[in-house]
Structure 1
Amino acid sequence: MTENKQPILVFGATGQQGGSVAVALLRAGRPVRALVRDPAADKASALRAAGAEIVLGDFADTASLRAAMTGAYGVFSVQPSSGMGPLLGISDEEEERYGCAIADLALEAGVQHLVYSSTDAVGDTPTGMGHFDSKARIEAHIRTLPITATIVRPAAFMEMLVMPGFGLDQGQFNFFVQPDQAMQLLAVADIGKYVTAIFADRGRWAGQTLEIASDMLTGRDLEAAFTAAAGHPIRYARFSEEVLAGNAFLAKLTALVDNGRLVGRADLAALRALNPQQQSFATWLAGDGKAAFHAALGQAGRWGYGHG
């Protein structure tokens, strides 16, 4: 059986990252096996209709994970985290346990290529934020295993910028960077395209760690892009000191931007060669992000990410 006929098991296939990977793999003609908790859910049904094999499983059910990996060529591993907020996330300890267990089971099952999705905040020293440092520990565990693995470190998602609470409904946008400070951003759809290219060239990417992003913008660049897309002025300002003083989670993230841990170091030119369809922020706003952006223009609310 050749690798192109063996399925790639995708975790989180009904979510952002896993969904992007599943769609891109299917478009590339690769067989996809999607692990889901509810096979009857709309997103699972859509994946089935697109050609994916749907299997029932849960991170906490080791037997279901082991069964899902049987005969798989590759595994795309991503877990929810505490940074996703209390409704969607899990504890940092659970994330680490699940991420390490998936890698161990992939080795046990004879999986040929494991791709693990981490974060660009991971570095040589801990960040002090649990949902980043749990990923660093999963990375470290994977590197101890005799398995062909690639680690991708995504930048902040463009989709995060059009969540309620950043001020777009008031003609402004507040974010982590200073007006002239640059930060890399990633269109979720690009994740799948990068990962599909990685699975297509196991030899090149074996043992590699790759930061992935789609564009790099300053606060003023964001102001200009939002203004052009909205058709009226959108003023940019960094989160105020008052806001940061009242939200420890935002304050810690902002500090990681200031010390360079969250601004991103991806080689955008090299990534464009890997994915010629790489999206600029302006392209994303006019396409994938258009509906969410225009909804945010008329939607007030608190910043809902993580512990905000």
Structure 2
Amino acid sequence: MFVIFGAAGNVGRMSATALRRAGREVRAVVRDEQQGGPLAAIGCEIAVADLSDAASVARVIDGAHAVQMLCPVPRAHADPEAAMRHMIDVSVAALRANPPSRVLALSDYGAEQPGGTGITTLFHHLETQLRSVDAQLTFLRAAEHMHNWARVLPMALAQGVLPSLHHPLSKLFPTVAAQDVGLLAAELLLDAGVPLASPRVVSIEGAERVSALDVARTLDELTGRPVAAHEVPRGEWAAVLQRAGLSEHHARLITDLYDAHNAGRIDVEARVSERRFGATTLAQAFAAMLPRVAGTAAALR
């Protein structure tokens, strides 16, 4: 049994689909039953779990051969860092008590750094805690997801302005499509080759690095509407993020992350020997997203 946490998300759904295509039994872990419909349709067993509840996590990993672990940032929580650290500690305790043969953790570029990287510091905590689990460990560190731009696509399409926290606008940064991360995660879970040193650390990013200018140019080309990238002044970051609905604590995690990004600290670790590259281009990822944001964009015009 392959247990996929966060199976209703962009990465988890692709992993579950790939594993089912390979003929494997999949237990898709979701936050509520309503998220499970499409996964049940492809033959997944649906399990509802609360990552902050030890008994809930223990129940869904019981009988697992492999576990794909995702600890999402709890956006609605007043203190998402504390809440996510708690979820990590609870989940790792359950895995330590009943370890499967394999555990793959979805992590981030920069997770090797112990601090000063905002949200990415939490993935450092995840990797550190998982090292105590008696299993073949894989840390899959992904670059910034292309679908993160979906939050600002409606504004970009409606107003022709793409706000960016990447400074300067010409700075190239690694990015990757969620579907490519999900496919690679499934591939690594299925890898039945000679056991490698644990933990196995694998990085993934797209074939080409991009800039905020490239992102705006791609939108322009796909939609036929002029879109200009706008460098949001550093002093306005927190206010902009809080107006977008983030709590003060969550906004600080984002600003710390982009400070580290702009200082060149968020990148593939030099010692990572396994580097993979996704096949999906930024244009392909955006083409799939645009129909879903078109309605919101029209309402903002």
* Structure-1-length-normalised TM-score: 0.80
Does 2:218 correspond to 1:213?
Answer: no
Would you say the 8 A contact 2:136–2:199 is kept in 1? Answer: yes
Give the equivalent residue in structure 1 for 2:20: 26
3-state SS of paired residue (1:298): helix
Would you say the 8 A contact 2:120–2:257 is kept in 1? Answer: no
Q: Look up the equivalent residue of 2:123 and give its one-letter code.
A: K
Match of 2:170 among 161, 175, 180: 180
Give the equivalent residue in structure 2 for 1:64: 56
Query: What is the deviation of 1:206?
Result: 4.2
Give the equivalent residue in structure 2 for 1:15: 9
User: Whole-Å Cα distance in 1 between the matches of residues 205 and 218 of structure 2?
Assistant: 18
Does 2:55 correspond to 1:50?
Answer: no
**1:177-223 deviations in whole A, cap 9, x for unaligned?**
22220111221111210101111215357411222222420122212
Give the equivalent residue in structure 1 for 2:148: 160
Mapping for residues 37-116 of structure 1, pairs under 5 Å: 37-39=31-33, 41=34, 43-82=35-74, 85-86=75-76, 91-116=80-105
User: Whole-Å Cα distance in 2 between the matches of residues 8 and 207 of structure 1?
Assistant: 19
Would you say the 8 A contact 1:116–1:151 is kept in 2? Answer: yes
Query: What is the deviation of 1:237?
Result: 2.4
3-state SS of paired residue (1:216): coil
Task: Report how many aligned residue pairs link the two structures.
Answer: 283
Query: What is the deviation of 1:47?
Result: 0.9
Q: Look up the equivalent residue of 2:121 and give its one-letter code.
A: D
Would you say the 8 A contact 2:155–2:297 is kept in 1? Answer: no
Give the equivalent residue in structure 1 for 2:286: 285
User: Whole-Å Cα distance in 1 between the matches of residues 197 and 44 of structure 2?
Assistant: 25
Q: Look up the equivalent residue of 2:28 and give its one-letter code.
A: A
Q: What is the root-mean-square deviation in Å for CA atoms of aligned residues?
A: 2.8
Would you say the 8 A contact 1:171–1:233 is kept in 2? Answer: yes
User: Whole-Å Cα distance in 2 between the matches of residues 98 and 77 of structure 1?
Assistant: 11
User: Whole-Å Cα distance in 2 between the matches of residues 59 and 291 of structure 1?
Assistant: 32
Would you say the 8 A contact 1:152–1:209 is kept in 2? Answer: yes
**1:34-54 deviations in whole A, cap 9, x for unaligned?**
123433x1x302211110011
Q: Look up the equivalent residue of 2:81 and give its one-letter code.
A: D
Would you say the 8 A contact 1:153–1:210 is kept in 2? Answer: yes
User: Whole-Å Cα distance in 2 between the matches of residues 25 and 49 of structure 1?
Assistant: 14
User: Whole-Å Cα distance in 2 between the matches of residues 293 and 104 of structure 1?
Assistant: 39
**1:232-255 deviations in whole A, cap 9, x for unaligned?**
221112213453374564543331
Give the equivalent residue in structure 2 for 1:259: 263
Mapping for residues 192-211 of structure 1, pairs under 5 Å: 192-201=182-191, 203-204=195-196, 206-211=198-203
Q: Look up the equivalent residue of 1:15 and give its one-letter code.
A: G
User: Whole-Å Cα distance in 2 between the matches of residues 90 and 37 of structure 1?
Assistant: 19
**1:59-110 deviations in whole A, cap 9, x for unaligned?**
233223222222211001112214xx326x8732332232233233234324
**1:15-48 deviations in whole A, cap 9, x for unaligned?**
3332232222223322110123433x1x302211
Would you say the 8 A contact 1:34–1:52 is kept in 2? Answer: yes
* Structure-2-length-normalised TM-score: 0.82
User: Whole-Å Cα distance in 2 between the matches of residues 90 and 9 of structure 1?
Assistant: 28
Give the equivalent residue in structure 2 for 1:304: none
Structure 2, unpaired ranges of 5+: 241-250
Cα 1:220–1:94 change in 2 (3 A) is closer
User: Whole-Å Cα distance in 2 between the matches of residues 261 and 169 of structure 1?
Assistant: 33
Would you say the 8 A contact 1:162–1:292 is kept in 2? Answer: no
Runs of at least 4 residues off by over 4 Å: 263-267
Query: What is the deviation of 1:264?
Result: 5.3
Would you say the 8 A contact 1:139–1:151 is kept in 2? Answer: yes
User: Whole-Å Cα distance in 2 between the matches of residues 168 and 205 of structure 1?
Assistant: 47
